[in-house]
Amino acid sequence: MAKTSFTVKKISIIAMLCALAYVTMYFLRIPGIGGFLTYDPKDVVITIGGFMLGPLAAAVISVIVSFFEMITVSTTGPYGFVMNVLATFAFACTASVIYRKMHNMKGAVIGLVSGVVAMTVVMILANFFITPLYLISRNAFASSAEARKYVSGQIVVLLLPFNALKAALNATITVIFYKPVVTALRKANLLPPSSSGKAGKFRLPTIITALVILIVCIILIFVMKNAA
């Protein structure tokens, strides 16, 4: 009976996080850097879910939210869906796997930094192979060679810094909100008590550092948006 109850709670939390991730994506979306790149903080919600419930939960939330994004607000169709899933898998699942193995502050930081690196690398590759197909589907270029040449020219000046900043922004917001969210869910009896009082605990200096990084990332993203 206890096992069933825990499963129901876990499904309930996943459903709640899906809804929250979609809402943050819908209302906090920063559109159109370079004409097609956007930022929204849904990966923060998904990563927090991965930290609480494991990488498989993060993957499930990612697919569900990306699907509903595709059929509602996205203008990039299945191409955008695949890119969203790849980005979230690279960031949230990487961070969650490491945090699951090292369930402490050090593990959280290593996981998030690894997620930033993984997402940046994966999205460069995804942009190189998938974005040309999208551009051709929109009749922006006549051939895949022309489209790929255009995308290659954008990697260093736009795609690399944008994806690195986006991932870093997600990481810093995760640091700020993870502990309050987990505490609230434990008070609501939706999560079991922590096995260690120190597990996942983010102290004040960490929060202050994260806030400073957050502000810097936001400023840089807006600078890139205005320069594009």
- What's the rounded Cα separation, in Å, for the pair 26 and 148? 30
**Residue 125's pLDDT band (cuts 50, 70, 90):** very high
Mean pLDDT confidence for 75-89: 93
120 has pLDDT over 90: yes
For residue 171, what are its two tokens?
A: 């990481």
36 phi, psi to nearest 5 deg:
-145, -10
| Percent of the chain at pLDDT exceeding 70 | 78
C-alpha–C-alpha distance, residues 21 and 17, integer Å: 6
Question: pTM (2 decimals)?
Answer: 0.81
Count the alpha carbons within 13 Å of 56 in the hemisphere toward its beta carbon: 2
Highest mean pLDDT among 6-20, 152-166, 181-195: 152-166
Contact 142, 121 (CB under 8 A): no
pLDDT score recorded for residue 178 = 87
Q: What is the dihedral of CA 48, 54, 56, 62, to 10 degrees?
A: 0
Domain residue ranges in the chain: 2-10+43-227
- Position 223 scores a pLDDT of 57
Structure tokens at 160: 């690399």
pLDDT of residue 105: 83
CATH class of 2-10+43-227: mainly alpha
What pLDDT, on the 0 to 100 scale, is given for residue 16?
A: 87
User: Cα angle vertex 24, ends 115, 75, to 5°?
Assistant: 90
pLDDT tens digit sequence for 33-67:
655 678 899 999 999 999 999 999 999 999 999 99
Kindly state the tokens that stand for 56: 């498989």
CA distance 143 to 145: 5
Predicted confidence at residue 145, as pLDDT, reads 87
Residue 123 in this model has a pLDDT that exceeds 90: yes
HSE-CB at 168 with a 13 A cutoff on CA atoms is 19
- 159-177 tens-digit pLDDT: 898 899 899 989 989 988 8
